[in-house]
Chains A and B, each alone.
Chain A
Amino acid sequence: MLRSAFVRTNNRLPKIASSAATSGSAAFSRNTLSPSLRTSSIRQYAASAVGVAKTLRSDDGLSIETHTDVQAANKEQSNIRTASKSIMSTEDGISSGTTALNHAYRENTGYGTRPIYLDMQATTPTDPRVLDTMLKYYTGLYGNPHSNTHSYGWETNKAVEAAREYVADVIHANSKEIIFTSGATESNNMVVKGVARFYSKTKKHIITTKTEHKCVIEAARAMMNEGFDVTFLNVDANGLVDLKELEDAIRPDTCLISVMAVNNEIGVIQPLKEIGAICKKHKVYFHTDAAQAYGKIPIDVNEMNIDLLSISSHKIYGPKGIGALYVRRRPRVRLEPLFSGGGQERGLRSGTLAPPNVAGFGEAARIMKQEYENDKKHIERLSKKLVDGLLANDHTNLNGSALHRYPGCINVSFAYVEGESLLMALRDIALSSGSACTSASLEPSYVLHALGKDDAMAHSSIRFGIGRFSTEEEVDYVIKAISERVKFLRELSPLWEMVQEGIDLDSIEWSGH
Chain B
Amino acid sequence: MATAPTRLQVLALYKQFIKNSKQFNNYNFREYFLRRSRDSFKQNMALQKPEEVSRAYSDAKEELGILKRQAVISQMYTFDKLVVEPLNNKHHH
Contact = CB atoms under 8 A, between A and B. Distances in A.
Contacts of B79: 42, 45-46, 114
Contacts of B23: 54
B70 A132 contact: yes
A349 B46 CA distance: 47
Given A110-B86, A111-B85, A112-B87, A27 B80 contact: yes
Contacts of A66: 76-78
Contacts, number: 112
A171 interface: no
A105 B84 CA distance: 10
Contact of B90 (A52, A65, A111): A52
Interface string B53-78: 00000000001001101101111111
Interface stretch (B2-10, B11-19, B26-34): B26-34
A42 B80 contact: yes
Given A469-B28, A469-B29, A477 B78 contact: no
Contacts of A54: 23, 75
Contacts of A64: 76
Interface residues of B, number: 35
Contacts of B63: 129
Contacts of A67: 78
A61 interface: no
A374 interface: yes
B48 interface: no
Contacts of A125: 28-29
A335 interface: no
Nearest to A469: B28
A223 to B, nearest CB: 41
A53 B23 CA distance: 9
A69 B80 CA distance: 14
A128 B66 CA distance: 8
Given A52-B88, A132-B66, A112 B83 contact: yes
Given A54-B75, A65-B76, A125-B28, A111 B66 contact: no
A131 B70 CA distance: 8
B22 to A, nearest CB: 11
23 contacts: A45-B79, A46-B78, A50-B78, A50-B81, A50-B87, A52-B87, A66-B77, A110-B88, A111-B81, A111-B83, A111-B87, A112-B82, A112-B83, A112-B87, A116-B84, A128-B67, A131-B73, A132-B69, A469-B29, A469-B32, A473-B31, A477-B83, A477-B84
Interface of B: 23-25, 27-29, 31-33, 35-36, 39, 63, 66-67, 69-70, 72-88, 90
Which 5 residue pairs across A and B have the least CB separation, nearest first? A112-B81, A128-B70, A469-B28, A114-B80, A46-B78
Interface of A: 25, 27, 42, 45-47, 49-54, 56, 64-67, 105-106, 110-117, 125, 128-129, 131-132, 374, 378, 428-429, 468-471, 473-474, 477
